Amino acid sequence: EGLQHCTTNENLLIRAVKFYERMGDLDQARQLLSRLKYCSIDKSWKTMLEGALLEARAGRYTMAREVLKFLTHNVPWYGPLYLAHTKLERDYGLSPEAYSIVEKGLKELPRYGPLYFQAFRLLEKEDLSRKAFDLPRTMGMVSRADSISRELLWKVHLEAAQMQERAAVLAVEDNTKNLDLRTALKATRRSYAKAIMLCPPNLSWKIWLASGRTEVSCGNTNVARELFLRAYDSVSEKGRSTVLLECARLEEYCGDLALSRSILCKSRQQFGKSDWKVWLSSVNLECRCGLRERAIAFAQEALNIHRGTGRLWAALIQLRHDEGELYQMKVLKFALQAVPKSGEVWCEGARIYLNPFSPTFDLQAASRHL
């Protein structure tokens, strides 16, 4: 009704296009977009962008590409246009074209952060494909990113550290005789140090945590403990459970299950009512230790508090495997009543139906669940 009176209103058109796309009526959506034919670009570019994204999702790459080219040419000051165009080219496997769009965008908007991060991913893939494990082009782009705002600059160095870590792992795999992972991670540690110096104090725990994980990957467990302790000292109350879970994983990795369970126990006592992940970690730990009954007890206790968490229901369904598929179906029904929109739960239902040795075997039902 609104579009009858305001035929080219951008907000109404975008909502209507999205609605028809969800309903699967793409022809009607395109008919609405055809109203923009005689509108000026200033009043229609947002709706045209939504139309381009619709065509991309529908698999019409050529049409989407042409619209995005037109928009980036006529609306060069809007960063997300370059981002959308870059992602389109990247998803269709055209990395050189994607990078040329990034460069075009950075020429117009040299301080637009998301384009730099997109460039990092493209250049990292290119460097690794050439086995240039020192990432020359990628690190060149990292140096160029010094022009962005200080609020984002620490994220640039954090991203650089993670890229260098991935490259170091591949370099060691490529030359296991002459290269050690602890040595190969020197550049990664330097990037973490730069990130720490530029990071706001309230977010520094994220970098301590990431650097601790890196040290765990190369076997420096004592250094990792120190870094996790720094993360715990600097984290806010809201994120403390995340750090405790990482500490519990570290102790489990080191073989100290008693200490890992103690850390998880502390996490449940302090954050069990607000964070369901502490319960899921407890369930997973007991599963890995082969203590199925303890895992079931934790899952049931967790669901008494976090009844609307699909991951916990999915874990409980998996744990009931020994009781048989019919018992799992009963748990599945309870789960779907509690969390009817949980993808994890529906996938567990499909898994039950896909077992060819079960009386519940039904490919059509599995397809419906998926």
Query: Average pLDDT of 227-256?
Result: 94
Q: How confident is the model at residue 6 (pLDDT cuts 50, 70, 90)?
A: low
Cα–Cα distance for residue pair 245/260, rounded to 1 Å: 9
Least Cα distance to 240 among 250, 249, 251, 228 occurs for 228
Cα–Cα distance for residue pair 46/138, rounded to 1 Å: 32
End-to-end CA distance of the chain: 36
**What pLDDT, on the 0 to 100 scale, is given for residue 96?**
87
**What pLDDT, on the 0 to 100 scale, is given for residue 115?**
93
The pair of structure tokens assigned to 21 is: 């796309």
* pLDDT tops 60 at residue 5: no
| Residue-averaged pLDDT of the chain | 90
**What pLDDT, on the 0 to 100 scale, is given for residue 205?**
95
Q: Give the side-chain half-sphere CA count within 13 A for 276.
A: 16
Cα–Cα distance for residue pair 28/35, rounded to 1 Å: 12
Q: How confident is the model at residue 269 (pLDDT cuts 50, 70, 90)?
A: very high
Cα–Cα distance for residue pair 179/188, rounded to 1 Å: 15
Query: Average pLDDT of 306-310?
Result: 93
Least Cα distance to 169 among 227, 122, 116, 213 occurs for 213
CA separation (Å) from 293 to 233, 248, 319, 352? Answer: 35, 20, 9, 21
Least Cα distance to 189 among 160, 230, 153 occurs for 160
Contact between 313 and 344 (Cβ < 8 Å): yes
Residues with Cβ within 8 Å of residue 294, at least 6 apart in sequence: 286
**What pLDDT, on the 0 to 100 scale, is given for residue 7?**
61
Residues with Cβ within 8 Å of residue 180, at least 6 apart in sequence: 172
Query: Average pLDDT of 37-41?
Result: 77
Task: Give the model confidence (pLDDT) of 72-124 as tens digits.
Answer: 888 888 889 999 999 988 888 788 899 999 999 999 999 899 999 999 999 99
What does DSSP assign to residue 323? G
pLDDT more than 70, % of the chain: 98
Residues with Cβ within 8 Å of residue 331, at least 6 apart in sequence: 313, 316, 317, 320
Q: Give the side-chain half-sphere CA count within 13 A for 27.
A: 0
DSSP string, 136-175: HHHHHHHHHGGGS-HHHHHHHHHHHHHHHHHHHHHHHHH-
